[in-house]
Amino acid sequence: MGNMYSLLHSLNDVKKHPCITFFLTKAFPKIQYRHIVFDIDLATTEVPQARIRKDDILPLSIESLLHHSSIEDNAKDIVSLGGLPLIVNLCRHFEDDTDVTIKLVNLLANISVQDGMLHHFFVTGCIGLLAQWKQHPDIRLSVPATRALANLDMDDTPEIKFSSHLHLLHPTMRHVDLPKLDVVFIHGLLGGVFFTWRQRGHEHTSPSILQKSSSSKGGRDIGCNISDERMKEYLGDVTEFKQDEWDMLGSDFEVVLSDCPENANVEGKGPYSYSGCHPSVRQSLEDRKTFSMCWPHDWLPQDCHHLRIIGVNYDSNLSMWTNICPVESITRNLEYRSKELMKKLTQAGLGSRPIVWVAHSMGGLLVKSMLTKASKDGDEQMRGLCDNTKAVVFYSVPHRGSPLVYLTQVAQLLWWPSVEVRELRENYPALLCLHTEFLNLVEKANIEVISFAETKPTHISSLHLQLKFVPTESANPGVGEFFEIPQDHFHICKPNSRQSFLYQKLLHLIQKYLPADE
């Protein structure tokens, strides 16, 4: 405990940070001052002393260290102050505690970005720990361990670094297939690489049986705005299947197929078959024998070779009442996030080969912001982010804002919406301007766009609300293929199987832009 306190205290002496100061005050009240004052959003808030349980001090100290390592170049100070031997001892102490071990492996991954770390990791035994974690069945351990080892690799790609917030999902082994295409996944509000991109669970994969509304129709009436004949046939099959099931259940109910589009725009096209079979909407109900905690990590490498898959992680909040670093609270706007992410992605070598972006919710706004900035950047490496972009896939992206912001005045007072949420208000001028720039860029750079929209409301348990986060008209960018999927906001990006329309559509797109083998 004393060694951890000494390390945190020394780090705070080298580079003052309010989060460490605050934590030391709470965890070690006999050593630190009894009160601390922060300035947040021009309001001065005094935080009274609150004691921490003795058993929680060490795990929370590790969390504080992890947070500190993700900011600027603080990680190198941890090494210079002798932190690596302490981290190795903590790994042994908490080897049976998965949650704490996840924090420790991410801490080492953050430190590995700094130059000249290979020797330090070798002499302290960190390389052996990372090699063990890399083989762990829990991807929350294996993926950050892979990132750390990739950063320490001085043979294959010494100039490429995966900094905090970037996860290398594939390849996980050296000397596999040389990547010819980069696929980048960016989650939205409250998301994460190992949450947003999970396979949809069994409770959300079966057909939904709902009460039939008086306006529902049977037959093959699928609308007249679809020009592609095969898409019309596909949606007709869906409607016909639902009609058959409805007739079997009775006229008071209907069946909703969770992964089949309910509607599509004029540009909407297939795929119309799964694994080479005749088109059948029943194929999306095939048994899923295994569950994927991260389907881009598990499925895409099986179906496509020569890919590099990167998952972007970033912190976000709905409310300012949640724990937010005072330093980061002013850097959570779209403008700052996109600039910082561009730097990290180019540091990881993005922009040197074709790119396909896959984004959910606010992640799509980040993609648009990065691409429009890159298109005007004078730096050749930055421009590569735009020049090499082939396609963008949007899952319920609020191009014109979200009604999430417009709660009642009482709810807003209790909720205190975060910076991220306030930027998402409907018809927000900055969002509309960004979208206009993006549409111009799509036309100029010939970027393919595919979009999916949610049609079900999302239940917000804390506020006892049913809310459609992104209305159809906001999710429709007005360019490219557009599909309406009967899912809520959090499940729109979670395919139920490798045979589902959601996954197959993305797979076909990636295969389209994957350069052929020479």
Specify the CATH number for the domain of residue 122.
Answer: 1.25.10.10
Q: Based on the domain organization, do 11 and 101 belong to the same domain?
A: yes
Q: Do 441 and 386 touch, CB atoms closer than 8 A?
A: yes
Q: Based on the domain organization, do 197 and 137 belong to the same domain?
A: no
Coil, helix or strand for 254?
Answer: strand
Q: Based on the domain organization, do 198 and 118 belong to the same domain?
A: no
pLDDT in tens, the chain (518 residues): 678 889 999 998 998 878 888 788 877 775 544 344 433 333 333 444 456 677 888 999 999 999 999 888 899 999 999 999 999 999 999 999 999 999 999 999 999 999 999 999 999 999 999 999 999 999 999 999 999 999 999 777 778 999 988 999 999 887 667 899 999 999 988 789 999 999 987 555 444 433 444 444 444 444 445 566 666 665 665 566 555 555 555 555 444 556 778 888 888 887 765 433 334 344 344 435 688 999 999 999 999 999 999 999 987 655 444 555 655 655 568 888 899 999 999 999 999 999 999 999 999 999 999 999 999 998 999 999 999 999 999 999 999 988 776 654 445 555 545 666 777 777 889 999 999 999 999 999 999 999 999 999 988 776 677 888 899 999 999 999 999 999 999 999 999 999 899 999 999 999 999 987 75
Residue 10 within a domain: yes
Its pTM stands at 0.83
Q: Do 305 and 516 touch, CB atoms closer than 8 A?
A: no
Q: Do 332 and 419 touch, CB atoms closer than 8 A?
A: yes
Percent of the chain with pLDDT over 90: 52
Residue 123 within a domain: yes
Residue 209 within a domain: no
Number of independent structural domains in the chain: 2
Residue-range definition of the domain harbouring residue 2: 1-41+50-158
Q: At what angle are helices 380-387 and 362-376 packed, to 10 degrees?
A: 130
Supply 64's token pair.
């504080």
Q: Based on the domain organization, do 112 and 192 belong to the same domain?
A: no
Q: Based on the domain organization, do 140 and 271 belong to the same domain?
A: no
Residue 347 within a domain: yes
Residues contacting residue 462 through CB under 8 Å, at least 6 positions apart = none
Q: Based on the domain organization, do 25 and 96 belong to the same domain?
A: yes
For 59, phi and psi rounded to 5 degrees? -60, -40
Q: Based on the domain organization, do 109 and 198 belong to the same domain?
A: no
Report d(CA 107, CA 11) in Å as an integer: 15
Q: Based on the domain organization, do 136 and 197 belong to the same domain?
A: no
Q: Based on the domain organization, do 127 and 196 belong to the same domain?
A: no
**Domain containing residue 285: CATH number:** 3.40.50
At residue 427, the pLDDT reads 83
Residue 368 within a domain: yes
Strand partners, 484: 263, 453
Q: CA distances (Å), 427 to each of 199, 399, 420, 423, 433, in order? A: 32, 9, 15, 10, 10
Report d(CA 384, CA 374) in Å as an integer: 7
Q: Based on the domain organization, do 359 and 300 belong to the same domain?
A: yes
Residue 247 within a domain: no
Report d(CA 131, CA 150) in Å as an integer: 11
Q: Based on the domain organization, do 197 and 117 belong to the same domain?
A: no
Q: Based on the domain organization, do 368 and 290 belong to the same domain?
A: yes
Torsion (CA) 100, 105, 110, 116 in degrees, nearest 10: 140
Residue 165 within a domain: no
Residue 208 within a domain: no
Scanning the structure block, which residue is given the tokens 């993305």?
Answer: 506
